[in-house]
Amino acid sequence: MEKAKTLFFISPRRVEIRETPLPRLKEDEALVETVFSAVSAGTEMLVYRGQFPPLKDARDAVSGNLKYPLEYGYACVGRVKEIGGRVDRSLRGKLVFAFHSHASSFIIQPSSLLHIPEFISPESACFLPNMETAVNLVQDGAPLLGERVLVLGQGVVGLLTASLLNEFPLESLVAVDGFELRRKALEIDGQKPKVKSIPQYDLRPSAFDPFDLTFELTGSPSALNDAIEQTAFSGRIVIGSWYGEKRAEINLGGKFHRSRIKLIASQVSAISPELSGRWDKSRRFDVAWKALERIKPAKWITHRFPIEEADKAYRLLDENPQDTIQVIFDYSI
């Protein structure tokens, strides 16, 4: 029986790689050998640190409650090795993307696979979930011509969101992050984009005109206070972070009370009701693939680990996040 190397989160800050037997391939299934899988420095690190609530409606790569031990992850790029008798023969050998947990191989329904366009590298394809998230964030924020926009957080989702916003005719675009490596990530071949990247301490109330639109993508709930402070009267704050069980005191008793600021909860699993009559997941994926072609985010991969060294990868993200942008598992190492 063929086996896969599968990553399990065992308890807070403890992971294991186990050999798990693959079930017999059914007539309507495909066997995929993983080439790369990307580690999420946001949601996945909440799982690693034990900061996630026991969600009963978890739908991304986990069935049932989020509780240890569990498999997790949602960004696998692989090649179809075998197919069942009722599967289209042309699928064999294709490079595909799957929202699947970290594993060296897996069996899946072909309908759950996304074909990677020829113009996208396998490394850039690892960024598809985060790019879809960034597209969703920008659509929820709906930036207008000439607006002033602020992006709090320049992790992968923040960088992708800022990159998309950089294509808009905005009056100004400011991005904030505490890590120098991430603040410089939008520079390409020494040329600065329109976005102005600054450290947290430069975000003073008097330093900028109030922003019409703010994106909170830090993963830190206390950053909502900065968002509220910097956002103009009747402006919008798009909250894309998942805080898990992290808590912070939010100042809603001062400026916010009369500000008419709109707080928008944005999560990629659903399309905004205002758009759902015209948009579906397929259309949004098409936009995300084309954005990946333009932005080429593989340049932000800072570390590659074999799956056997997963513990080192998570310790790096946990203890020295300032040295990382995107960490991936490379199954050819």
Letter for the amino acid at 241?
S
The dihedrals phi and psi of 136, each to the nearest 5 degrees, come to -60, -40
∠ CA 268-270-276, nearest 5°, is 125
- CA–CA distance, 145 with 162 (Å, rounded to integer): 16
pLDDT, one tens digit per residue, over 76-112 is 999 999 999 999 999 999 999 999 999 999 999 999 9
Q: Which CATH superfamily is domain 129-265 in?
A: NAD(P)-binding Rossmann-like Domain (3.40.50.720)
Fold of 3-121+297-330: Quinone Oxidoreductase; Chain A, domain 1 (3.90.180)
Domains 3-121+297-330 and 129-265 share a fold: no
pLDDT, one tens digit per residue, over 230-289 is 999 999 999 999 888 888 899 888 889 899 999 999 999 999 999 999 999 999 999 999
Calculate mean pLDDT across residues 166-170.
95
Q: Residues 111-116: contacts with CB within 8 Å, 24+ apart? A: 113/30, 113/32, 113/80, 114/285, 116/77
User: What CA–CA distances, in Å, run from 122 to 46, 144, 243, 296, 298?
Assistant: 26, 34, 30, 11, 9
Domain boundaries, the chain: 3-121+297-330, 129-265
Contacts of 330 (CB under 8 A, 6+ apart): 35, 36, 304, 305, 306
Contacts of 132 (CB under 8 A, 6+ apart): 268, 284, 285, 288
Provide, rounded to the nearest whole percent, the portion of the chain with pLDDT above 70. Answer: 94
Contact at 8 Å (CB) between 22 and 37? no
Q: What is the pTM of this model?
A: 0.93
More confidently predicted of 323 and 189: 323
